[in-house]
Amino acid sequence: MSSRRRTLLKVIVLGDSGVGKTSLMNQYVHKKFSQQYKATIGADFVTKELIIDDRHVTLQVWDTAGQERFQSLGVAFYRGADCCVLVYDVNVTRSFDNLNNWHEEFLKQANPTDPERFPFIMLGNKIDIDGGNSRVVSEKKAMEWCASKGNIPYFETSAKEDYNVDDAFVSVAKTALANE
Ligand code: GTP
Ligand code: MG
């Protein structure tokens, strides 16, 4: 309906290189998955139209580079973000430990008015690997971290098997909207 108010939500996806940020977005928007790794350079976005509680929402999801040498984002990039999605790989301890840095870096750069209440979402990706037998970060540990940062919603996902990907991004939209 043309009279429906449209809301644009800017979402920034952060996390270590290789955790599956690009794959999650490709699965969500294009319903595609590739085994091949191609490092993201700089930042790029995709959009997705959603209807949430009768509101027409455009999610503008920004993919970023996990590799430091490919990061070239200025402060202006982070400003105006409505939600930040933090991604780690449940099979890689370091990617979980680094969430503190990504969280801190985001708040420093985006400098939101109310950092305590800024909407984050956390995704533990690649839960499909080895049927979960090679995971090193437990769901409990991840949820404790989320609780310690002001109750960040947490989802376990597989970009490969398209598990929980849609639900996670709907939650991104709802969380961001709630904070409007
Ligand atoms: P950077 O762009 O360097 O920051 O990495 P990224 O976080 O975008 O990772 P990317 O999506 O490129 O995925 C890295 C590798 O992990 C690729 O080979 C993907 O195929 C693989 N991968 C991503 N998600 C999953 C998943 O859920 N399960 C499995 N088994 N592999 C995955
Ligand atoms: Mg990438």
pTM score, whole prediction: 0.96
- Check pocket membership of 37 for ligand 1, CB cut-off 6 A: yes
The alpha carbon of 1 and the centre of ligand 2 are apart by a number of angstroms equal to 35
Looking at residue 125, what is its pLDDT?
98
What is the rounded distance in angstroms from the CA atom of residue 80 to the CA atom of residue 97? 27
Looking at residue 42, what is its pLDDT?
86
Question: What is this model's ipTM?
Answer: 0.99
Q: How big, in percent rounded to 5, are the helix, strand and coil portions of the chain?
A: 35, 25, 40
What is the rounded distance in angstroms from the CA atom of residue 171 to the CA atom of residue 146? 15
Averaged pLDDT in 10-residue chunks for the chain of 180 residues: 73 98 97 97 93 94 91 83 97 98 95 94 98 97 97 98 98 92
The alpha carbon of 3 and the centre of ligand 1 are apart by a number of angstroms equal to 39
- Check pocket membership of 164 for ligand 1, CB cut-off 6 A: no
Amino acid at 107: L
The alpha carbon of 22 and the centre of ligand 2 are apart by a number of angstroms equal to 4
- Check pocket membership of 98 for ligand 1, CB cut-off 6 A: no
Looking at residue 2, what is its pLDDT?
47
